[in-house]
């Protein structure tokens, strides 16, 4: 079923855009694959589990594989929309706790404005 939701890149109080900064570090091919998956997140309901998974109470991860690399974008829901906080290249089986804490801080900052 086609449903419209927005995927929004978080902007810190400082004006920094962590997701855009992360995407700028990637190859064109990897960035294009990530943007394709983000389009799926915007249009499909329900979101396919292979692309978006709940990590804990409020934090979700967008999972993208491109070539031999696995990319993760962290985010949360605000209503029907998805706010993406930041990204990383996943190098181990477990998500580093500091990445989850980083997302938690951005969520806290977002709702304190």
Q: What is the pLDDT of residues 55-98, one digit of tens each?
A: 988 999 999 998 889 999 999 999 989 999 999 998 777 888 99
pLDDT of 3: 61
pTM for the model: 0.91
How many CB atoms neighbour CB 107 within 10 A?
A: 20
User: Token pair of 44, please?
Assistant: 């499909």
Query: Taking 80 as the threshold, does the pLDDT of residue 108 lie above it?
Result: yes
pLDDT of 2: 55
pLDDT of 16: 95
Domains along the chain?
7-112 (3.30.2310.20)
Q: Per residue in 16-30, pLDDT tens? A: 999 999 999 999 999
Higher pLDDT, 10 or 3: 10
pLDDT of 46: 84
CB neighbour list of residue 82: distance below 8 Å, 6 or more residues apart: 5, 6, 7, 8, 41, 52, 60, 62, 75, 76
């Amino acid at each position: 079923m086609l449903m419209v939701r927005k995927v929004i890149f978080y902007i810190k109080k400082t004006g920094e855009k962590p997701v855009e900064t992360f995407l700028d570090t990637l190859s064109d091919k990897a960035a294009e694959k990530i943007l394709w998956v983000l389009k799926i997140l915007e249009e499909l309901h329900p979101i396919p589990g292979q692309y978006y998974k709940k990590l804990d109470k409020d934090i979700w991860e967008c999972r993208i594989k491109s070539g031999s690399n696995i990319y993760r974008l962290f985010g949360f829901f605000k209503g029907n929309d998805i706010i993406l906080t930041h990204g990383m290249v996943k190098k181990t089986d477990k998500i580093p706790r500091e990445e989850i804490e980083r997302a938690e801080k951005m969520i806290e900052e977002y709702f304190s404005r």
